[in-house]
Amino acid sequence: MIEARNINKTFGEHHVLKDVSCIFEKGKTNLIIGQSGSGKTVLMKCLVGLFEVDSGMVSYDDRNFTTMNFEQRKTLRQEIGMLFQGGALFDSMNVEENVMFPLNMFTSQTVAEKLERVNFVLNRVNLENVNYLMPSELSGGMRKRVAIARAIAMKPQYLFCDEPNSGLDPHTSGVIDHLIREITEEYDITTIVNTHDMNSVLSIGDSVAYIYEGKLWWKGNKETILHTDNPELNEFVFGTELTSRLKK
Contact residues for other proteins, defined by CB under 8 A: 48-50, 73-78, 80-82, 84-86, 88-91, 101-102, 104-106, 154, 160
The residue among 10 and 221 lying less far from other proteins, judged by its C-beta, is 10
The residue among 79 and 206 lying less far from other proteins, judged by its C-beta, is 79
Q: How many CB atoms lie within 10 A of CB 172?
A: 17
Say what the alpha-carbon torsion angle 50, 54, 56, 57 is, to the nearest 10 degrees. Answer: 30
The residue among 100 and 209 lying less far from other proteins, judged by its C-beta, is 100
**Residue pair 31/163 in contact by the 8 Å Cβ criterion:** no
Burial of 99 (0-12, 13-18, 19+ CB in 10 A): buried
In whole angstroms, the minimum distance from the beta carbon of 223 to other proteins comes to 32
Phi, psi of 65 (to 5 degrees): -70, -35
In whole angstroms, the minimum distance from the beta carbon of 102 to other proteins comes to 5
**Residue pair 79/72 in contact by the 8 Å Cβ criterion:** no
In whole angstroms, the minimum distance from the beta carbon of 215 to other proteins comes to 25
In whole angstroms, the minimum distance from the beta carbon of 232 to other proteins comes to 29
In whole angstroms, the minimum distance from the beta carbon of 139 to other proteins comes to 17
The residue among 33 and 153 lying less far from other proteins, judged by its C-beta, is 153
Phi, psi of 31 (to 5 degrees): -105, 135
The residue among 84 and 217 lying less far from other proteins, judged by its C-beta, is 84
Phi, psi of 89 (to 5 degrees): -75, 150
